Amino acid sequence: MVYYVTDLLLLGCINSIMVVGLNLQYGYTGLLNFAYYTYVAIGAYVAAVTTMGRTAMLGGGTYILGWTLPWYVGLLIGGVVAAILGAVVFGFTVRRLRSDYLAIVTVSAAFIFWNIINTYEPLFNGATGLYNVPNIISTSTARYTLVMLALSAGILAVCVWASRRIFRSPFGRLLRSMREDEAVTSAFGRTSWQPQLWIFMIGCFIAGIAGGLFVFSITAWSPYAFLPLESFILLAALIVGGAGNYWGALLGAFVLIEGLAELSRFLPSFGGGADVGAIRAIVIGVVLILMLRYRRGGLIPERWLHWYGQPTKQVLPKARFAAVRRAR
Amino acid sequence: MFVRFVRGRRHATGVAVGIGTVAALVLAACSSSKPTASSTSSPASTSAAAATSASASGGVSPVASAASAGSSSAAASGSLAPAPSQAATGSAIKLGLLAPLTGARADLGQGMQTGAKIALSVINATGGVLGHHVNLDVQDDAADPADAVPAAQKEIQADHVVGIVGPISQTASVVWPIAAKANIPDLMWGGGSAFDNITDPHFFRLSPSDTEQADAMVVYAHSKGWNHVAIAIGNTSGDQSLVPGLQDAAKALGMTVDKPVTIAVGATSFRSEIQTLFSTHPQAVLGQFDIPSAGVLFGELKQQGLLSTPWVASNLWFAKEFVTSVGGATASGPIYIANPGAENQGYQPFLNVLQQQTGSNQPSNGQTYIYDGVNVWALGAQIAGTTDSPAIEQGIAKAANGPGQNCYDYSTCLQLLKTGKAINYQGAASSVDFDKFHNVYGPFDILHFNADGTSSSLTELTPQQIQQTLTNG
Amino acid sequence: MCGGSGAFTKRRIHHLLPLQLPKDSRGLILSQFLVAVGFGLATASVVALAAVAVSLQVSVTNFINFAYGDFMTFGAYIAWSATRHGINLVLAIILGGIATGLLGVLANILVFRPFMRQGVRPVTLLIAGVGLSFVVQNALTLIWGAEPVRFNVTLGNSLHVGPFILTPGDLAMFATSVVLLVMLHLMLAYTKFGKALRATSNNADLAKACGIDSERVVSITWFLAGLLTAVAGVGLVLQESTLDPTTGFTELFVIFGAVILGGIGRPYGAMLGALAIGLLTEISGAYLNAAYKTSIAFGVVIVLLLFRPQGLFATKGKIS
């Protein structure tokens, strides 16, 4: 039973890392990135192909690279590649579009990316995916889970620390002001897209690292592991937990993703087992809508200092509809 | 509220310390409970006697059974099963099923679950396994490796299953090592070539590898003199894994094989694919893609008068849906299906059980394989006298391969065992004969549909024949 | 599984030239092109209905509802259930349309209108739409299961219609599309409600000032949109031959492509956009690996939103 719990904690930590990264993009800066899980997948794939060499899958399967770098190098490269890809995507899209149209573009991009990876086998072995990804240290299964848990928890702590630093820094204030009203920010002479680019890249880097941790934990990755739906679930977790607040991110990850998914395994399976999964998804949808409606800050709303210096409960202020293109 | 707890730099340190403490506690708990952990995989070992009361020994703790009785489908299978002829006494044991009930392959999960349930209903009605009632613990892996790991861990660590049936290829590569380390058998289903050469004794595969399927298809084409073939392959992993086998076998026999043409799932027309396939005027087309797409493609072939070119397909098309999708007239054309298992004499008894339990006589995709898996596991346990490894794996191999008398359904096999005879279980999906890598590799039937949807077997290719052709050709 | 013995669905039949025609390469290419056009028309007729529905709704409410694909699936399932109970296909489609219209109105009352009254950012409505999509799609799974089902309908053999090869089903769908769209145009242009709708979409506040009850307009628009979406859903299922809870959602981005091509919030533009995207995907599918065909639709969406968000056919005036 203990191993099951440590397994759950490990997955919870990895999901938390992802949601913390998404929080940087959406919670702090208001950039809606519906393709977040794609960056996780890139981090996973790159970490895998830079560390598994050519022989791990016993010669069956085609994929690029196939190096045998140490795991930490592979992990970092995965994060960096994800960040670079994020920068490219950002440069093309985020600068130009209002949030909801950006959402459509990013979802479309996620679908395209998934389609290419699934169909074009020489890239990452197509629909079958990669398996037998090497462990980071060779030890018994039980200890390995604990090792990964310690590593993930450590990285999570670093990410949370970074989030906190960013939040309290002038950089963070700038991001929040841009989130609220971009026109005013530009009027004050702050170029808007550079800080956004930085935060976007940091968020994607974190996603890539999470992906690498994921692939080293479960030793396999395939297109089925990153269906475009997953990004929605991360976003739902963030919103329900509390966007703009890393505690909210943690809560959302553990409660919505881990808790809901894993606790439902203990429910009696009535009818077909598929019903449990469907009910779970319905619960997520309903909770999301209710949270948006009645407590838009989430379970743990962000608190930020009004520029007069007084704390305020107000979270995300109302804004009227704007044109598709951002105001410049 | 939370923000007030810690301030300044101590905050992040606090988080790290907190997590570190948790990790340390867990580590401490783990190392002290390690002996228990390894024994959870050894269920209540019993003697061959029907009645036993040794429920508390080993890892089958009554508490766990009671707590997770709700999580199994015991109630459901109870309602399906007829009144037991011999009551199973002793504590219940759990057999795990990992299936994609949701997610990308949700079309398979329900069928797999039903297949396991109906098999268990027969098993429990005839006294259970070694006197224990068997509960089915179904967990959803969503065909996603990330979900399969916690699902498998729950079955093993929390529910203490004595064996796992399933999953499918997409997730089996992460599940069977977990099962092996927990020292229980895993009987998966799927064709991925990743599983061709696994030497771990816990691993079993209930369907032939795509490599073997491909070999059979190519050898048959070669035997009919079709030495220039085209390949039409769907874009799911189950389809893609057939290609290397096809190409290698064709190369070994000196056949000309065109570059594979992708038949994308959900596409609404295949004009260009047909043009590419037939541009070189192949003598036959080898293929596997989903049945709805087959309906479209064959309709288009009919329009172009290209239905005279023979097709050699995998057993994916050995389903009633294929006949309804392409139409009886087309299905009875030159379409040849390589299906594992000679004559599938276990198929009719399976249909009887299916009809009796569910009222339907149309099996879903995969149902027969899981049904066979559960049966062969139960028979293996009866032969071995235990559900522990390594005896159970040896028992499974004996039940499936013999040597012994052929039997085609669980009750008959059990009767034979009780009279002291050796058996050779012939299943519904295949003859269930495991090769040295615990892959099912029996003979392949070459089937042909009749216009009314029934099928007839044209010829049979034994493994020896296939291997011989490949090495000589 | 649905589909008794003896009944089978036939898809659109696509026809390369019969072998006895002269192998004039230019004629070959032209004929293939025209056949692709014909097929594009058939796709477009389904997409157009859904795209017009989306455009109508966006024009009065100014946000995109992610749950539309699932509305389509819902309509298709209702119609399918009706046919299973022996109801005539046309009646079943009407039933499905009404049911989906009501679903749209319900969604508006329960989910979207409270948000809009609050005056939230468009992104919040989008995410609410995503939540709604979760709910609807999985409710469908709960009720009808995840396994694919099939309509018990024969679409007939293909006919030659000029240079095109289409089945009677295609023609029926095309005709239905045209009729519905013409009716819609008449409604928009000549009825009081149509004028109210156009006024609201142009400038909601001004319309209110003129005494138009914009919330009622919105409600009725949702109903209409739901109706059209259901017909499109059934058309889609008849083309694809199978129906499962995810059918509509996967079409969603093709529909978005049509909407954006035509200009977001412009129903007339959406009709043209559907035509364009139908032709585009089919013609490109003739020359590229078909597995990438859906990616092309998505690519169109991306390129358009980035470089010409007002759509291909935009004139001066309101962008969204």
DSSP per-residue letters across C166-195: E-HHHHHHHHHHHHHHHHHHHHHHHSHHHH
Answer whether C10 touches B (CB < 8 Å): yes
Q: Which residues, other chains included, contact B287 with Cβ-Cβ below 8 Å and sequence gap of 6+?
A: B231, B232, B233, B263, B311, B312, B313, B314
| B216 in the same domain as B147 | no
- Least confident piece of the model among A125-129, B227-231, B340-344, C12-16: C12-16
Q: How far is A142 from chain B (nearest CA, A)?
A: 8
| B279 in the same domain as B354 | no
Residue C37 reports pLDDT greater than 80:
no
More confident residue, C168 or B248: B248
- The position carrying tokens 């096999």 is B413
State the average pLDDT over residues B333-350: 82
Residue B296 reports pLDDT greater than 80:
no
Q: Report pLDDT for A38.
A: 93
| B82 in the same domain as B100 | yes
| B144 in the same domain as B76 | yes
Confidence of residue B197 (pLDDT cuts 50, 70, 90): confident
Question: Domain C33-307: which CATH class?
Answer: mainly alpha
Chain A positions touching B151 (Cβ under 8 A) are: 265
Which H, E and C letters describe C9-28, residue by residue?
CCCCCCCCCCCCCCCCHHHH
Candidates C5, C12, C15, C16: best to mutate against B (most CBs of B within 10 A) is: C16
Interface contact B174-A218, CB threshold 8 A: yes
Interface contact B271-C291, CB threshold 8 A: no
Confidence of residue C105 (pLDDT cuts 50, 70, 90): very high
Q: How far is B207 from chain C (nearest CA, A)?
A: 22
Confidence of residue C241 (pLDDT cuts 50, 70, 90): low
Residue B31 reports pLDDT greater than 90:
no
Q: What is the DSSP letter of A225?
A: G
Q: Give the chain B residue whose CA is nearest to the CA of A6.
A: B26
Q: Which chains touch C (3 or more CB pairs under 8 A)?
A: A, B
Interface contact B321-C244, CB threshold 8 A: no
Answer whether C289 touches A (CB < 8 Å): yes
The answer to whether A85 and A67 have CB atoms below 8 angstroms apart is no
Chain C positions touching B266 (Cβ under 8 A) are: 240, 250, 294
Does residue B399 form part of some domain?
Answer: yes
Q: Report pLDDT for A319.
A: 44
Chain B positions touching A160 (Cβ under 8 A) are: 12, 15
Does residue B413 form part of some domain?
Answer: yes
Chain B positions touching A156 (Cβ under 8 A) are: 19
- pLDDT (tens digit, 9 = 90+) per residue, B356-386? 988 877 777 788 899 999 999 999 999 999 9
Q: Report pLDDT for A56.
A: 76
Q: Report pLDDT for A92.
A: 78
Does residue B41 form part of some domain?
Answer: no
Q: Which of B448, B472, B434, B473 is nearest to B188 (CA)?
A: B434
- B304: domain CATH number is 3.40.50.2300
Per the structure, how many domains does chain B have? 2
- Least confident piece of the model among A37-51, B14-28, B167-181, B430-444: B14-28
Does residue B264 form part of some domain?
Answer: yes
Chain B positions touching C244 (Cβ under 8 A) are: 107
Residue C231 and residue C174: Cα distance in Å, rounded?
A: 12
Q: Which of residues 36-55 of C touch B (CB under 8 A)?
A: 36, 39, 43
Residue C97 reports pLDDT greater than 70:
yes
The answer to whether B77 and B121 have CB atoms below 8 angstroms apart is yes
| B97 in the same domain as B223 | no
Percent of chain B with pLDDT over 90: 27
- Least confident piece of the model among A27-36, A53-62, C130-139, C190-199: A53-62
- What are the φ and ψ backbone dihedral angles of C159, each rounded to 5 degrees? -120, 160
Q: Give the chain A residue whose CA is nearest to the CA of C204.
A: A321
| B204 in the same domain as B136 | yes
Q: Report pLDDT for A149.
A: 92
When mean pLDDT is compared over B297-306, C105-114, C247-256, C304-313, the highest value belongs to C105-114
Confidence of residue B266 (pLDDT cuts 50, 70, 90): low
Answer whether C145 touches B (CB < 8 Å): yes
Q: Report pLDDT for B34.
A: 34
More confident residue, C191 or A311: C191
- Least confident piece of the model among B144-153, B210-219, C251-260, C302-311: C302-311
Q: Report pLDDT for C154.
A: 60
Q: How far is B357 from chain A (nearest CA, A)?
A: 15
* Other beta carbons within 10 Å of B34: 15
DSSP-assigned beta bridge partners for residue B311: B285, B335
Does residue B411 form part of some domain?
Answer: yes
Which among A132, A156, A225 has CB closest to B144?
A225
Does residue B183 form part of some domain?
Answer: yes
Distances (CA, A) of A251 to A244, A258, B99, C50: 12, 10, 29, 39
Q: How far is A325 from chain B (nearest CA, A)?
A: 34
Mean pLDDT by 10 residues, chain A (328 residues): 82 91 88 89 93 76 82 92 91 72 81 86 84 81 86 93 87 80 69 82 95 92 85 87 82 80 69 70 88 81 47 42 44
Answer whether C35 touches B (CB < 8 Å): yes
The end-to-end CA distance of chain C, in Å, is: 44
DSSP-assigned beta bridge partners for residue B140: B99
B193-203 b/e with 16+ CB inside 10 Å = b? bbbbebeebbb
Residue B383 token pair: 């032969």
Residue B188 and residue A137: Cα distance in Å, rounded?
A: 28
Residue A313 token pair: 């409960």
Residue C20 and residue A312: Cα distance in Å, rounded?
A: 80
Number of B–C residue contacts, CB under 8 Å? 97
Residue B208 reports pLDDT greater than 60:
yes
Q: How far is A183 from chain C (nearest CA, A)?
A: 16
Q: How far is C197 from chain B (nearest CA, A)?
A: 36
- pLDDT (tens digit, 9 = 90+) per residue, B43-89? 333 333 333 333 333 333 333 333 333 333 333 333 333 334 445 56
Interface contact B145-A222, CB threshold 8 A: yes
- The position carrying tokens 């409710």 is C139
Q: Which chains touch A (3 or more CB pairs under 8 A)?
A: B, C
Distances (CA, A) of C7 to B289, B321, C155, C220: 22, 11, 10, 39
| B284 in the same domain as B188 | no
Helix residue spans in B182-290 (DSSP H): 210-223, 237-240, 243-252, 271-278
Interface contact B149-A217, CB threshold 8 A: yes
Confidence of residue C15 (pLDDT cuts 50, 70, 90): very low
The answer to whether A242 and A251 have CB atoms below 8 angstroms apart is yes
Range of the domain at B255: 210-340+443-472
* Other beta carbons within 10 Å of A184: 12
Chain B positions touching C43 (Cβ under 8 A) are: 268
Q: Which chains touch B (3 or more CB pairs under 8 A)?
A: A, C
Confidence of residue B36 (pLDDT cuts 50, 70, 90): very low
Omega before residue B334 within 30° of 0, cis = no
Confidence of residue C317 (pLDDT cuts 50, 70, 90): very low
Q: Report pLDDT for C313.
A: 63
The answer to whether C236 and C12 have CB atoms below 8 angstroms apart is no
Q: Which of residues 12-31 of C touch A (CB under 8 A)?
A: none
Residue C8 and residue C12: Cα distance in Å, rounded?
A: 13
The end-to-end CA distance of chain A, in Å, is: 56
Residue B317 and residue B335: Cα distance in Å, rounded?
A: 10
State the average pLDDT over residues B411-440: 88
pTM, rounded to two decimals: 0.79
Interface contact A318-C132, CB threshold 8 A: no
Interface contact C295-A112, CB threshold 8 A: yes
| B233 in the same domain as B162 | no
More confident residue, B445 or C40: B445
Q: Report pLDDT for A127.
A: 80
Interface contact B300-C15, CB threshold 8 A: yes
| B353 in the same domain as B324 | no
Q: Which residues, other chains included, contact A166 with Cβ-Cβ below 8 Å and sequence gap of 6+?
A: A24, A28, A172, A175, A199, A202
The answer to whether B315 and B457 have CB atoms below 8 angstroms apart is no
| B164 in the same domain as B75 | yes
| B215 in the same domain as B194 | no
| B180 in the same domain as B244 | no
Q: Report pLDDT for C291.
A: 67
Interface contact B264-C35, CB threshold 8 A: no
Which among C134, C299, C302 has CB closest to A281?
C134
Q: Report pLDDT for C209.
A: 85
Q: Which of B232, B234, B227, B222 is nearest to B275 (CA)?
A: B232
Q: How far is C11 from chain B (nearest CA, A)?
A: 6
Q: Report pLDDT for B119.
A: 94
Confidence of residue C160 (pLDDT cuts 50, 70, 90): low
Helix residue spans in B253-390 (DSSP H): 271-278, 291-304, 320-326, 328-331, 347-358, 367-384
Please report, for chain C, the start and end positions of each structural domain, with discontinuous segments joined by +: 33-307
Helix residue spans in chain A (DSSP H): 2-22, 36-49, 71-89, 99-119, 121-124, 141-168, 170-180, 182-187, 193-218, 229-241, 246-251, 260-263, 274-294
State the average pLDDT over residues B388-404: 90
Answer whether C202 touches A (CB < 8 Å): no
C173-199 b/e with 16+ CB inside 10 Å = b? bbebbeebbeebeeebeeeebeebbbb
- pLDDT (tens digit, 9 = 90+) per residue, C204-238? 778 888 888 888 888 999 999 999 999 998 888 87
Residue C2 and residue B230: Cα distance in Å, rounded?
A: 33
Q: How far is B269 from chain C (nearest CA, A)?
A: 7
- The position carrying tokens 């000196």 is B254
Q: Report pLDDT for A260.
A: 75
The answer to whether B345 and B380 have CB atoms below 8 angstroms apart is no
